[in-house]
Amino acid sequence: MVEALSPGLYIVAGPIGNLSDLTPRAADILRRADVVAVEDSRVSARLLQHAGSDRPMVPYHDHSNEGLRVRLIERMGQEAVALLSDAGTPLISDPGYKLVRDARAVGRAIYTLPGPCAAIAALTLSGLPTDRFLFQGFLPAKAKAREDALREVAGLRATLVFYESGPRLSASLGTMADVLGDRDAAVCREISKKFEETRTATLVELARLYVDAAPKGEIVVIVGPPGEAPAASEEDADAALREALTRLPVAKAAGEVAKKLGLDRRTLYDRAVELKG
């Protein structure tokens, strides 16, 4: 007789490509859970079959209403609920954090089963620094919002990790080059699948590579940290302030330039007031 699982929420990391990457412990939980909350039952059915699980599935995704979340949390009081995304670790650019937050708030037991994650796998493939990194997920689809999101992280001395789709890849790489500078980068595609590919070059070179041939599959972009730059001159600061003032109020313009150039914000604010006047 199979021993029943303790009631609660089990966050199960699934494969990002090769089904054999499913851990033995994850397969065991999928076979023993009372119910499996899935992002897409068509995708998860194949994985459950591979794991030898016949457990019932219920949908849980970004468009699920609060009522479904409440019902799942109620079931966790008496049953073992497994949470499974379409690929990789749930909650990493996938639905689930609200379920975890609300389950924890009412005292439900929560367990995680570590496993594959495309962001971490791509970092290991890129050959770029891994001691400090920021996972940014998917950038906004609209060009202006994408630029704004990249400006927020441009000054961070860390490797940046993005998810992207094939049709948008070249445009996103070009915007990254414009905003972040022509840094070293890697495009990792179809990790752990048959046509796995990693290409490394500068952002500009990678943007040109994909401009006429949008790649297929799941894509992770890794961008190296900024290099050591010489101290910005007054002319550099004025030029950056003038550009920022065309789209931002004085205080925000000074803050953006201070972060980008590593200069004193108060001094830049006073100079921005002069330029604005």
96-138, pLDDT tens digit by residue? 899 999 999 999 999 999 999 999 999 999 999 999 999 999 9
pLDDT confidence tier of residue 261, bands split at 50, 70 and 90: confident
What's residue 256's pLDDT? 87
Residue 165: left if φ>0, alpha if ψ -120 to 50, beta else—which one?
Answer: beta
For the chain, the average pLDDT equals 92
Q: How far apart are CA 187 and CA 248, in angstroms?
A: 33
Rounded to the nearest 5 degrees, what angle is found at the Cα of 33, between the Cα atoms of 30 and 34?
140
Give yes or no for a contact between 174 and 202, defined as CB atoms under 8 angstroms apart.
Answer: no
Rounded to 5, what percent of the chain is helix, strand, coil?
Answer: 45, 20, 40
Residue 230, pLDDT > 70, answer no
In angstroms, the Cα distances linking 235 to 145, 176, 197, 231, 250 are 28, 24, 43, 11, 18
pLDDT confidence tier of residue 220, bands split at 50, 70 and 90: very high
140-198, pLDDT tens digit by residue? 989 999 999 999 999 899 999 999 999 999 999 999 999 999 999 999 999 999 999 99
- The pTM score is 0.78
Residue 1, pLDDT > 60, answer no
Q: Which residues lie closer than 8 Å to 57 by C-beta, 6 or more apart?
A: 35, 36, 37, 38, 41, 44, 45, 48
Q: How far apart are CA 66 and CA 165, in angstroms?
A: 29
Q: Give which of 210, 118, 200, 117 is closest to 168, Cα–Cα.
A: 210
Per-position DSSP letters for 73-99, written without gaps between them: HHHTTTSEEEEE-SSSSTTSSSS-HHH
Q: How far apart are CA 211 and CA 209, in angstroms?
A: 6
The structure tokens listed for 106 are 């009412």
